[in-house]
Amino acid sequence: MPLDQYEDDDDKPADKGGPRAKEFNCPECSASNPYDDGFGDGDEVRCYYCGLEFKAELRDDGKFKFREV
C-alpha cells in the first residue's frame, strides 16, 4: 500500500503500549465520561461534567486509578 504524502500523523494518539480504556467514571461526581481516542497509563483525563482533571494510573490488577491533578 503506498504512503499518503498528505496524511497527518500529529492528530493520532501515540501508542504507548499497555492497556487503554475508552471511558471512565469520575471519582468526584460519578459521571460516565467517554473518550473516543482512549487513554492509558500516565494520561490526563477531564470530567466533562464537573470539570476536574485526573491522571490515570494503571494498577497491578489491570484497573485504572484516577488521581486529581
pLDDT at 11: 52
Q: Are 18 and 40 in contact (CB under 8 A)?
A: yes
- Residue 10 DSSP code: G
pLDDT at 41: 97
Could you list the residue range(s) of the whole structural domain that residue 62 is in? 19-68
Show pLDDT as tens, one digit a residue, over the chain (69 residues): 555 555 555 555 555 678 999 999 999 999 999 999 999 999 999 999 999 999 999 999 999 999 999
pLDDT at 18: 86
CA distance linking residue 49 with residue 27, whole number of Å? 12
CATH number of the domain to which 47 belongs? 2.20.28
Q: What is the pTM of this model?
A: 0.73
SS3 (DSSP) at 20: coil
The rounded radius of gyration (Å) of the Cα atoms in the chain is 15
42: closest CA among 1, 13, 4?
13
Name the domain count of the chain: 1
Show the cell assigned to 32. 460516565
Question: Does residue 13 fall inside a structural domain?
Answer: no
